[in-house]
Amino acid sequence: MADTKVVTIRTRKFMTNRLLSRKQFIIDVLHPGRPNVSKAELKEKLSKLCDVKDPNSIFVFETLSSGLILVEANRLGLA
């Protein structure tokens, strides 16, 4: 039987915006058997995926099952 805590994150339309010093992409969140995934858990998983030390530099704009993600290179946005 599958674990009900499994969350799968798929990325698409990945783009590096050098002018604003950030990465932009769209995610699809698959969570079968779970009602929802919290923003804190999404930030934790995305910080591991993008190799970001500060999870507060990840901005998640959610919809039902996918969303636009902005990851700043540094906290102030200055490179």
* 15-69: pLDDT as tens digits: 888 888 888 888 888 888 888 888 888 888 888 888 877 777 777 666 555 666 7
Please check whether residue 25 lies inside any domain of the structure: yes
Please check whether residue 79 lies inside any domain of the structure: no
Domain that holds residue 29: 8-72
More confident residue, 4 or 54: 54
Please check whether residue 14 lies inside any domain of the structure: yes
Please check whether residue 64 lies inside any domain of the structure: yes
pTM of the model: 0.67
Residue owning tokens 């102030």: 76
